[in-house]
Structure 1
């Protein structure tokens, strides 16, 4: 899967998740620009033989404090770090099982240049991507989040690896 295909799918999924987050349905009926077109319908990832077909989010946490990894559609994820920026709460997945899963969550927002200690809990759009094998399971290996209410777009998403193998 090339970078442009991933970017188009993220933007399309982000628009859907942004509609869910903001309640502004007018965007859903707008004609997409060339760079916001959805990923091709033929785009798919097959689970390897013997691997469970419903993807999980990451796995094999190297940190015993991590929570929510290795499960399908987790509603709470804590990456086990020292700051709140790795905690995603009240996750509501709008899609799951395709090349990119999208939803909304409550996460820590820190304005550009502001200290992480000043982060506030706010609604975010989340994406799980990089579908592949992690810890022997079909898994999304990257989790990303962005805050559209602060003018952020899918390209601004903060991505973190959730597969430690």
Structure 2
């Protein structure tokens, strides 16, 4: 009988726990090296190779497969007739693209709230538009502003 305490894995459980083996080899030679001797696994690191096996082997999962087959055999399929009741018919004017209802909250103006007493806008409100329009497109553009002072303001005294 295989138990969790006797296996050579770093886990706390084994899928083969309680599985009874009715025969065991005295020794196993694999690739010219002794692999199993006196029912103990003798492992040499780096010598092993991958052996492709089908998943869900019958020794470990045969009971699950038999249970699922028995369950499927006991279930009977339900035969139903096709639905032949009334179906909704759309009129030709309803088949066109639906129109969006007008939204009283959204206006043509970018700003939804009036400016503050100081004339400022809500900085959290976006003025982005997919059409490329700007919030100040309706204002006339200024031709230019001339100043007689340098950038940074006028200086009253000279250091040089």
Task: Using structure 1 for the length normalisation, give the TM-score.
Answer: 0.16
Structure with more contact order per residue of length (Cα contacts < 8 Å, sep ≥ 6)? 1
- Which protein shows a greater Rg? 2
Which structure's residues are more often helix, by fraction? 1
Task: Using structure 2 for the length normalisation, give the TM-score.
Answer: 0.17
